[in-house]
Structure 1
Amino acid sequence: MVKVVNAEKEDIKQWLVLAAKVEKLFGPMVDDPLFVQTLERNIREGRAFCIRENDGFPGEQLLGGILISTKNAPSYKIGWLAVSEQARNKGVASALMKHVLEHFQSPAEVSVVTFGEDAKGGLPARRLYEKFGFAPQEEPVPNGPEGGSRQLFKLIMN
C-alpha cells in the first residue's frame, strides 16, 4: 500500500530528480524556471501530492507526483503526473489519481492533456486516464515541448 501525501518544500529537490527522469517524454523541465515556479507554488498552495519511497519523510526519494489546478472549480485540471521507472505498474499512478479525484467536489469536470495515440511512451498514461473514466476529446491541443502529439481527456463527475 502506498501513501499519498501533500508535497512539502523539502520535496522540491527530489521532485526535480523525478522530472529529470521523465524529460524524454515531457520535454525540458528541470532547467525551466516556469516549471520550478509552478511546482513551488503548487506545493505552497497544497495542490502538489506525492508518494515517497517507503512512505519516507519530506525530502526522500519520490515514487511519483501529481500537480492539480483548482482555481476554476468545479472545472479542475491535472497539470502534471509522473511515476519513477522503478515504481511503474505498482499502483503509484492509480493511488495519486484516486487521491486527487477524491479532492474534487461533484458535480465537476476534470481535464488533462496527455500524450497522443502516436506517442509510444505515453500509452500507459492514456490507459490510466481511461481506467478512471476520462474520455479523449477531439479539440486540438498543441504538441508537447519535445515535439510529440498531445490529446485532451475529460472526466465528468456527477
Structure 2
Amino acid sequence: MLIRFALEKDKEDWIKLAEDVADVFRAPDMANDPEFHAYMDSKLSKNEAIIATDRMTNACFGIIGFSRTHNRITWFGVFEKYRSNGIGEKLLKCAINQLDWGKDITVETYPDDYPPGIPAKKVYRKFGFIDIDKTLTDKLNNPIWKMAIPTTYKKKGASFHYNFNRYSKWAEKNSCPVCQGQEAPYPPILIKELANSWVECYEEAQGRLFGKCHVLSKKHSEHFYDLPRDDMANFMADVQKVAKALHQVTGAIKINYEIHGNSMPHLHAHLFPRYLNDDFPSAPIDYRITEPSPYESVEEFNWFVEKMRGLL
C-alpha cells in the first residue's frame, strides 16, 4: 500500500469513492454535486487530500480530506470492499500529522446510533477523538456530532510528515533557506567552510554522540540522484575529508554516514561517530535523543571544534 498526497489524476477515483460511500454520508447525489467537486478541487490544489493506493495496480483504497486552516478532518472514505484492513487508520494518522497539535483537531460525524457511521467513529476514538457537541445537524437536517482531539503540546518533528507544504516550498532553490542565506532558528556552529560545502555541528549532538556533525552542500539538490556527477563527486570528497578528520579527533571506532533531507530538502550528509559505549549497539541511531550533551563542558565542545578546524 502507498499513502501519498492525492493529485489531480486521482479525481476520477475520488468521484467513484464518493459514489461508493454516498449512503453512509446520506448524500446519494454527492458524486455529482458541484459543491463537492469544488471541494475536491480545493483540497487537491492545497495538498489537503491523502490517498491510499495499491502499489502494483494503483487501485484506490480510500481518501481523507482535511483543512489546515480550520484544523479539522473534512472528508473520510474507504471503499466498502477494502474496509477492515487498517486503511482508514493509516489515512487518519497521516492527516492528523499535517494538522496543528497545539489546537483542538475536530471532525463532524454521526451519532452512535447510526450504524453506517460506527466504523469511522471507532477509528476516530482510537486516535483520541472525544464527543464535544451533540447538537449539530447537516444540511439535510440529519443529526451530527462534533468530535475533537483536545489540544496537546506534544513536540512534533520538522519533517515533511508534519509539514509537507513547507517542505515542498523549501525544495525549490528560490525558496530554500540555505540558498537564500536565511539564518536557521537554532544556528549551528560553523566548523569550517570547504570548497564545496560547510561543515557544521551543534553542542546538543544528535544521538548524544561526541563529534556528531553534518556537511552541507553549497549546491542545491533535493534528491541526491539529481546532483550532476562532478558536483556529486566534489561534495562526497568533502564528506570523505571531514570523516577522516572526525575519526582522528574523536577516537571513534567507526563513522556512520546518513543523507536524509526530510526536514531541510537541501543536500547534506550527517556524520555519526560510533563508540564502544554508545547507546545503539546493533541498532540504528536515534537522532532525536540529544540530552544530556555528550560534551562534559563548553571547553570540551570548543576543543572538539578547534581540533576539527585544525585538521580541515
Partner of 1:62: 60
Q: For residues 15 and 56 of structure 1, do their structure 2 counterparts lie closer, same or farther at Cα, with a shift above 3 Å needed?
A: farther
Change (3 A) 1:125 1:100: same
The match for 2:8 is 9
Could you tell me how far 1:69 is from its partner in structure 2? Answer: 0.7
**Contact (CA 8 Å) 1:113, 1:151: kept in 2 or not?**
yes
Q: Corresponding residue for 2:234?
A: none
Q: Is the 8 A contact 1:64 1:82 kept in 2?
A: yes
TM-score by length of 2: 0.46
Structure 2 residue identity aligned to 1:62: C
Distance 1:46 1:100, change over 3 A: same
Aligned to 1:81: 76
Distance (whole Å) between structure 2 residues aligned to residue 46 and residue 38 of structure 1: 12
Aligned equivalent of 1:45:
46
Q: Which residue of 2 aligns with 1:155?
A: 149
**How far did 1:43 drift?**
0.4
Which whole-Å deviations, capped at 9, do the CAs of 1:36-91 have from their partners, x for residues lacking one? 11101100110011011x2258xx4310001101114xxx1100000001110101
Q: Are 1:119 and 1:149, in contact at CA under 8 Å, matched by a contact in 2?
A: no
Q: How many residues are aligned here?
A: 150
Structure 2 residue 119 is matched with structure 1 residue 124: yes
> Which of 1 and 2 has greater Rg?
2
Identify if the C-alpha distance between structure 1 residues 105 and 56 changes in structure 2 by more than 3 Å, giving closer, same or farther: farther
Task: Quickly say closer, same or farther: Cα 1:120–1:40, change in 2 above 3 A.
Answer: same
Alignment match of 1:142 (pick from 126, 134, 137): 137
Which 5+ residue runs of structure 2 have no aligned equivalent? 153-312
Task: Give the superposed CA RMSD.
Answer: 1.7
Conserved 8 A contact 1:113-1:153: yes
TM (normalized to structure 1)? 0.88
Higher strand share: 1
Write the distance in 1 (CA, Å) between the matches of 2:84 and 2:142.
Answer: 23
**Structure 1 residues 8, 65: CA separation in 2 closer, same or farther (over 3 Å shift)?**
same
Q: Which moved more, 1:84-93 or 1:132-141?
A: 132-141
The match for 2:162 is none
Counterpart residue identity of residue 48, structure 1: A
Equivalent position of 1:24 in the other structure: 23
Structure 1 consecutive aligned stretches of length 4 or more whose deviation exceeds 4 Å: none
CA distance in 2, matches of 1:127, 1:139: 17
**Contact 2:72/2:99 (<8 A) preserved:** no
Percentage of identical aligned residues: 23
**Higher-RCO chain (CA-CA 8 Å, sequence separation at least 6):** 1
Letter of the 1:83 counterpart: V
Cα distance in structure 2, aligned partners of 1:23 and 1:103? 26
Letter in 2 for 1:7: A
User: What SS does the corresponding residue of 1:13 show, helix, strand or coil?
Assistant: helix
Q: Distance in 2 between matches of 1:5 and 1:100?
A: 11
Partner Cα distance (1:121, 1:91) in 2? 17
Say whether the 8 Å CA contact 1:25–1:121 is kept in structure 2.
yes
Aligned counterpart in structure 2 of residue 96 of structure 1, from 91, 116, 121:
91
Alignment correspondent of 2:273: none
Determine the C-alpha separation between the residues in 2 that align with 1:84 and 1:143.
22
Between 99-108 and 40-49, report the one with greater CA deviation: 99-108
CA contact (8 A) 1:49 1:65 kept: yes
Maintained 8 Å contact 1:110/1:154: yes
